[in-house]
Amino acid sequence: MVKVSYEQKPFRREVMRTYGASVTPSPSELTAVGRRILAEHPGTTGSLGCAISEAVEDALSHEGYRYVLGSVLNQVLLHQSVIGMETKIALDKYGIKPDMVIGCAGGGSNLGGLISPFMGEKLRGEADYDIVAVEPASCPSLTRGRYAYDFCDTGKVCPLAKMYTLGSGFIPSANHAGGLRYHGMSPVLSELYDQGMMRAISVEQTSVFAAAELFARVEGILPAPESSHAIRAAIDEALRCKETGEEKTIVFGLTGTGYFDMVAYEKYNNGEMTDYIPTDEDLKPGFDSLPHIG
Ligand SMILES: Cc1ncc(COP(=O)(O)O)c(C=O)c1O
């Protein structure tokens, strides 16, 4: 488990342990790649890219073990397309056509799944939708990344993928409480973004938690911080429409509950949460880590 999540999301960790898993914070001393990352980034609280490298090494060094990436790759988007298809069927049943489809974007799997039937219609020229990826300002792979071949993991043991990326060497700030801390973006979504078939925005975490709080009070549902990125964008668009008098149907993906994220909510409620937007200088080492192709 990514070290920062291991510390900030102790209840997710304990759920896994309750079901029998032994949970190790990554980067760890247990793998060669973990030790290498720790030597290069002493005291780092890790990232998804680091945890992937360690998980792959662990799987490769144990007979009968297999590793499957949980986001980014096509099979994960395909799996999550169930969400999009169910959404489309539900909307069609009531004759509703959304104007806008919004999803939070870490590696891109929930967004890719949610938008799949809508994007299909858009690509075939059957309908138009405003499709929006919402990412954290602290890890802005679409809005500030480069479209390049890059490693899917920090230890550079996984194959290269062409994607929007901040560079596999980019380690996001530990101050960001939610997930979505992945340096790259699904190659499918990257290509759609590059072709102008969808757009992306980035939001800061205190505004994300303000949206989460409003949503919880109005809807009675405590959203996951990741989902709350999409909620922020949906609220902002609804407020904009309120001002202009426009009528819009806005669909967003509510990907999870926030019950395991109460440490982050506590920080927000205590007024201790801060925002972090990397400078161009902060992003440079990540871009410098991009592989040189051909
Ligand atoms: C609740 C929740 N929603 C969304 C995401 C984002 O992942 P992806 O962009 O792959 O859908 C995560 C990732 O950890 C998550 O925990």
Model pLDDT, residue 173: 82
In the chain, domain spans: 3-60, 74-288
Ligand 1 lined by 188 (C-beta under 6 Å): no
Compute the distance from residue 279 Cα to the ligand 1 centre, in Å: 25
Ligand 1 lined by 5 (C-beta under 6 Å): no
User: What 8-state DSSP symbol labels residue 150?
Assistant: E
Per-residue pLDDT tens over the stretch 21-78: 999 999 999 999 999 999 999 999 898 889 999 999 999 999 999 999 888 999 999 9
Compute the distance from residue 69 Cα to the ligand 1 centre, in Å: 13
Pocket test for ligand 1, best of 163, 229, 255 (most atoms within 8 A of CB): 255
- CB-side neighbour CA atoms (13 Å) of 231: 26
Ligand 1 lined by 172 (C-beta under 6 Å): no
Residues in the chain with pLDDT < 50? Answer: none
Dist CA 171 CA 151 (whole Å): 14
Q: pTM value?
A: 0.95
User: What 8-state DSSP symbol labels residue 71?
Assistant: S
Exposed/middle/buried for 42, CB within 10 Å: 0-12, 13-18, 19+? exposed
Compute the distance from residue 246 Cα to the ligand 1 centre, in Å: 31
Ligand 1 lined by 179 (C-beta under 6 Å): yes
Model pLDDT, residue 178: 63
Compute the distance from residue 71 Cα to the ligand 1 centre, in Å: 8
Residue nearest to atom 15 of ligand 1 (CA): 226
What is the fold of 74-288? Rossmann fold (3.40.50)
Compute the distance from residue 245 Cα to the ligand 1 centre, in Å: 33
Distance of CA 148 to the CA centre of its chain: 19
Nearest 5°: the CA angle 283, 287, 288 is 115
Q: Answer for the pair 228, 209: CB distance below 8 angstroms, yes or no.
A: yes
Dist CA 112 CA 53 (whole Å): 23
Residue nearest to atom 6 of ligand 1 (CA): 106
How many beta carbons lie within 10 A of that of residue 152, not counting itself?
27
Compute the distance from residue 255 Cα to the ligand 1 centre, in Å: 7
Compute the distance from residue 48 Cα to the ligand 1 centre, in Å: 11
Ligand 1 lined by 48 (C-beta under 6 Å): no
By three-state DSSP, how is residue 184 classified? strand
Query: Which is the closest atom of ligand 1 to the Cα of 227?
Result: 3
Dist CA 83 CA 88 (whole Å): 9
Query: Which is the closest atom of ligand 1 to the Cα of 71?
Result: 10
The answer, yes or no, to whether the previous bond of 27 is cis (omega within 30 of 0) is yes
For the record, the structure tokens of 35 come out as: 């030790």
Ligand 1 lined by 104 (C-beta under 6 Å): yes
Model pLDDT, residue 111: 98
